[in-house]
Amino acid sequence: MFGKKEKFSNSLILDKNRKAMVFEIDDSSDELYFPDPHLGDDDGCFAVGGDLSIDRLLLAYSNGIFPWYSFRDQDEPLWFCPMQRFVIFPDEIHVSHSMRTLMNKNKYSVGINEAFDEVIRACGKCNHRNEEDGAWLGDNIIRAYTALHDQGFAASVEVWDNETNELVGGLYGVTIGKVFIGESMFSKVPSASKLALIFLARYMQEHGGKMIDCQLETPHLKSMGGRYISYEEYMRIMNEEE
């Protein structure tokens, strides 16, 4: 599954003729690091190991890297960094006629950072996701991203039913500068996650946000304006100061 595994320490010289491989992070190193993500496989997997500490996660996301692994099958995190990134630019969000109609009914209210713990747990449990093979949103991920949230580096969007006050949808992700990296979303009623995404895009427009990283292409996200950009363009936007 992981291809060739190697120990990595200190610096890595990029060799374009080398085959894709997954590097094992040396946990004994005093220095936080990641190998060069350009050497990963076609899916972007390039490293295994390390931890989910705040410092390592911030280093990862600042460089377009994210953890993704089955918590039942894999003891150590797998790290991904695809060279083609599926993103939505906030000013390019597409709001369909049906979504405009739904929004005009005022059936739901949308907020931000009102119930992070409820959102992240709902993302894992909705449609029995955590019972499926390959489920990744386990307790260790919840603890790690809750810690990020407590430090102001993760955020949630909540969709509430105005009649019942029930949380019916939402999303959460990591915030690095003016980039939001989406991690997961859920809907208990039709289109609730779309409402959350539209709210997020508009919020980012109002507050100078530059980009929403969707991580994976889906028909849902593509219909709302998602498109691919290169990793180089992604990092240019990530490093913009204004």
Task: Based on the fold, state whether residues 148 and 180 are members of the same structural domain.
Answer: yes
Q: CA 184, CA 164: separation in Å to the nearest integer?
A: 24
pLDDT of 2 reads 17
Evaluate whether 155 touches 149 at the Cβ level (below 8 Å). Answer: yes
Secondary structure, 3-state, 174-193? EEECCEEEEEEEEECCCCHH
In a domain, 233, yes or no: no
pLDDT in tens, 26-63: 877 778 889 999 989 888 999 998 899 999 999 999 99
- Mean pLDDT score, 188-212: 97
- What are the backbone angles phi and psi of residue 197, rounded to the nearest 5°? -70, -40
Number of domains in the chain: 2
In a domain, 237, yes or no: no
| Residue 241 one-letter amino acid | E
In a domain, 239, yes or no: no
Task: Based on the fold, state whether residues 120 and 172 are members of the same structural domain.
Answer: yes
Range of the domain at 149: 86-228
In a domain, 238, yes or no: no
| Residue 212 one-letter amino acid | I
pLDDT in tens, 158-178: 999 999 999 999 999 999 999
Task: Based on the fold, state whether residues 140 and 45 are members of the same structural domain.
Answer: no
Q: From 32, 61, 81, give the residue that closes a domain.
A: 81
CATH code of the domain in which 54 resides:
3.30.70.3550
| Residue 116 one-letter amino acid | F
Q: CA 38, CA 21: separation in Å to the nearest integer?
A: 10
pLDDT of 135 reads 63
The β-bridge relationship of strands 108-112 and 154-161 is antiparallel
